[in-house]
Amino acid sequence: MQGCGGVDAFAATRLAAGTAFLVVAAASDLRTRRVRNPLWIALGTLGLVVLVVELFVESAPWPTWSLAGSAALLFYAVFFGRPLFDEDGFHARPGRIVLFLAAAAMWIAPVGSVGTVASSVPIVELASMPVMVVLYELMLRARLLGGGADAKCLMALTLLVPTYPDASPFPVFTADPRVQPAFQAIFPFSFVVLVDALILQLVVPVGLFVYNLTRGDIGIQSFLGYRAPLDPFPKHVRLMERITDRGEHVVVLRPKRESDPTAEIVKLRAAGIRRAWVTPWVPFMVPLLGGFLLAFLAGNLLVAVLSLAR
Q: Of 5-14, 15-24, 57-66, 183-192, give the lowest mean pLDDT range.
A: 5-14
First to last CA, the chain: 37
Bridge partners, 86 (sequence order): 89
Residue 208, classified by CB atoms within 10 Å of its CB into exposed (0-12), middle (13-18) or buried (19+), is: buried
pLDDT band at 4 (very low <50, low <70, confident <90, very high): very low
How far, in Å, CA of 114 to CA of 65, rounded? 13
According to DSSP, the residues that pair with 283 across neighbouring strands are none
What pLDDT is stored for residue 194 in this prediction? Answer: 95
Distance from C-alpha of 210 to C-alpha of 103, rounded to nearest angstrom: 49
Q: pLDDT class for 305, splitting at 50, 70, 90?
A: low
Going across the sheet that includes 237-239, the strands are: 226-229, 275-280, 237-239
Are 240 and 224 contacting, i.e. CB atoms less than 8 angstroms apart? Answer: yes
Helix axes 9-32, 37-57, angle to 10 degrees: 180
pLDDT value of position 113: 61
d(CA 106, CA 68): 9
Q: Is the pLDDT of residue 136 over 90?
A: yes
Q: What would the pLDDT profile of 185-195 be if each residue is shown by its tens digit?
A: 788 999 999 99
**Confidence (pLDDT) at 58:** 87
Average pLDDT, the chain: 86
Residue 191 in contact with residue 132, Cβ under 8 Å? Answer: yes
DSSP state of 8: B
Q: Which of 114-123, 172-181, 246-255 has the lowest mean pLDDT?
A: 114-123
Backbone CA torsion sign across 165, 169, 174, 180: positive
Residue 279 per-residue DSSP state: E
Strand partners, 85: 90
- Work out the average pLDDT over 54-80: 92
| Predicted structure pTM score | 0.86
14 has a pLDDT exceeding 50: yes
DSSP state for residue 233 in the 8-state scheme: P
Q: Which ranges of 109-188 does DSSP label H, i.e. alpha helix? A: 123-141, 148-160, 180-186
Q: What is the mean pLDDT of residues 248-261?
A: 81
| Range of weakest confidence among 131-135, 229-233, 243-247 | 243-247
Helix (H, G, I), strand (E, B) or coil at 255: coil
Q: What share of the chain is helix, strand, coil (3-state, %, to 5)?
A: 60, 10, 30
Report yes or no: 73 and 65 within 8 Å, Cβ to Cβ.
Answer: no
Say which residues have a Cβ less than 8 Å from residue 224's Cβ, sequence separation at least 6. 205, 208, 240, 253, 254, 279
For residue 99, give the amino acid letter.
Answer: L
Over residues 166-173, mean pLDDT: 77
Q: What is the mean pLDDT of residues 143-161?
A: 92
Confidence class of residue 3 from pLDDT cuts 50, 70 and 90?
very low
